[in-house]
Amino acid sequence: MSKDATRPRPTDNAFLGPLHGGSKEPTYAGALSFMRRRYSRDLAGVDVVVWGIPLDAAVSNRPGARFGPQAIRRASAIFDGDPQYPFARDPFAELAVVDYGDCVFDYGRHAEIPRCIEAQAREILATGAHLVSLGGDHYVTWPLLKAHAARHGPLALVQFDAHQDTWDDDGERLDHGTFVARAVREGIIDPQRSIQIGIRTHAPDTCGIGILDAYTVHEQGVRGTVERVLARVGAGPAYLTVDIDCLDPAFAPGTGTPVAGGLSSAQALMILKGLAGIDWRGMDVVEVAPAYDHGDITAIAAATFVQHYLGMLAERRRG
């Protein structure tokens, strides 16, 4: 046998890998798609699309979330081909997942950006694929919600966040603190089935949405929080949005508007896993700003939220 025959064969899973099955590439090598999924715009037979939206034109404090999708993809390389904790399985045995790359828009034409995001999201959803989006600042959830509601009808919103994002505006400005009020006003989300987790600021209006502020979560624990969220959301379709600043700055320093007193990574992930029974129709994780991160801990937390979400979708597929 020749020496060449005994050498490991390179795969570069992001370009050449199969749709199903985890990657066996080293965490420190290869192209950095999300969890080594194949980069593809061909959605035939695809169950889930991971998509980046590198926008931070709507922030009110520190910029930098436009680099969030890159950072989350880089951090996700730690999830190699082993069974994924805490599910003890490879989610890609059940789910065909691709990395769709990033949303395309002209950064200099701000008024056109929301329409670009919504239109491209609608194209993905029209294929029947489940959409998971990587922000970007929290404004991107607004056009994403519009696209999902156009397909599924009014949604319950489950929002992990330090901020309510219910400030009022004229409906035109790019602002990461107003999209929830808009969505309620336009009937895109059902406030009676919606809930916010980890809040530790005040806005003038709750818009009728349930709030589990951070201190309440700390006091009642994971189990009590999960029970209240499940009771609020019920059986209808729901959308999950995770603002990484739901976590305390000790666990997520790399974000634009950090607020002390937040959730730990373990708390938030355990709560999310407890919500597996919800009829999820889409998800995003936003506000990762890697310039303020340390050792990628914020990006790792964001990547793990998505990894858990994919694990839940795989569990649902198994029945």
The answer on pLDDT for 146 being more than 80 is: yes
DSSP label at residue 120:
H
pLDDT at 168 (0 to 100)? 84
88-120 as b/e: b if 16+ CB within 10 A: eebbbebbbbbbbebbebeeeeeeebbebbbeb
Q: Dihedral of the CA atoms 51, 52, 58, 61 (nearest 10)?
A: 130
CA–CA distance, 41 with 304 (Å, rounded to integer): 24
Which pTM was predicted?
A: 0.94
Give the max Cα distance, the chain. Answer: 74
The answer on pLDDT for 4 being more than 60 is: no
CA–CA distance, 276 with 229 (Å, rounded to integer): 11
DSSP label at residue 194:
-
SS3 86: coil
pLDDT at 167 (0 to 100)? 85
Please, which pLDDT band fits residue 252 given cuts at 50, 70 and 90?
Answer: very high
Please, which pLDDT band fits residue 183 given cuts at 50, 70 and 90?
Answer: very high
For the record, the structure tokens of 98 come out as 């691709």
Domains of the chain plus CATH, in order, are 14-318 (3.40.800.10)
pLDDT at 1 (0 to 100)? 44
pLDDT at 68 (0 to 100)? 97
Q: Which residues pair with 284 in a beta bridge?
A: 133, 241
Q: Dihedral of the CA atoms 158, 312, 130, 302 (nearest 10)?
A: 60
Residue range 24-63, pLDDT digits in tens: 788 888 888 999 999 999 999 999 999 999 999 888 889 9
Which residues, including other chains, have CB under 8 Å from residue 45's CB and lie 6 or more apart? 19, 96
CA–CA distance, 260 with 232 (Å, rounded to integer): 26
The answer on pLDDT for 188 being more than 50 is: yes
The answer on pLDDT for 180 being more than 80 is: yes
Helix (H) or strand (E) holding 310: helix 297-318
Residue scoring higher pLDDT (91 or 174): 91
One-letter identity of residue 36: R
171: left (phi over 0), alpha (psi -120 to 50) or beta: left
Q: Tokens 């789910």 appear where? A: 95
Q: What value does the mean pLDDT of the chain take?
A: 93
Q: Do 280 and 317 form a contact (C-beta atoms < 8 A)?
A: no
CA–CA distance, 243 with 182 (Å, rounded to integer): 17
The answer on pLDDT for 2 being more than 50 is: no
